[in-house]
Amino acid sequence: MNFIEGGFCHVTGEKCSLGLRGASAKNADGECELHGRFDVWITERNDLLITDMGFPAEEPNQCLALGINEPLARKIASEKAKQLGSSVLTTQRRCIRCSTQYWMTQYLDSRGVLETGHANFCPNCRAFATDEEMERRLGAQRYWCG
């Protein structure tokens, strides 16, 4: 994502902290502190959606930001929500074992996350939960839930 133009950051309005190489900085390299894995969308119902899962399932009206960090995504979404008089939604999940909120991209190894509802457990709980506990907590969901 190109956050700068003419040496100035679009987000902060100040000189780019990376200097001239800021214009070619890639999000994947993580050089800029503003880069990240979050996007901000305006949904069909004019709610603001912060997501780390790419293009939303519900057709969005507008994209406000792509590939930014979480604090910046929350700031952009809350400011726009105030303007529109709407609410902020996220794709953040709550663990069914410990109630911790987590983002899907917190999984470093995504193999098996979508199997039998394992994505309902945060990365920490998924690592320690036994198959029996997962089956007990998921109940009937273990057959269809991802």
Segments making up each domain of the chain, as ranges: 1-32, 34-91, 93-143
| Secondary structure element (H or E) that encloses residue 63, with its range | strand 60-68
Quote the pLDDT of residue 110: 56
Buried b or exposed e, range 33-58, using 16+ CB within 10 angstroms: ebbbbbbbbbbeeebbbbbbeeebee
Per-residue pLDDT of the chain (146 residues; tens, 9 = 90+): 456 667 777 777 788 888 877 777 777 777 888 888 899 999 988 899 999 988 777 777 888 888 889 999 999 999 999 999 999 999 999 998 899 999 988 876 555 555 657 788 888 888 888 878 877 877 755 545 44
Residue 119 one-letter amino acid: A
Q: Is 67 helix (H, G, I), strand (E, B) or coil?
A: strand
CA distance 20 to 4: 9
Quote the pLDDT of residue 53: 86
CA distance 116 to 31: 37
Asked whether the beta carbons of 72 and 64 are under 8 A apart, the reply is no
Q: Are strands 35-43 and 8-9 parallel, antiparallel or unpaired?
A: unpaired
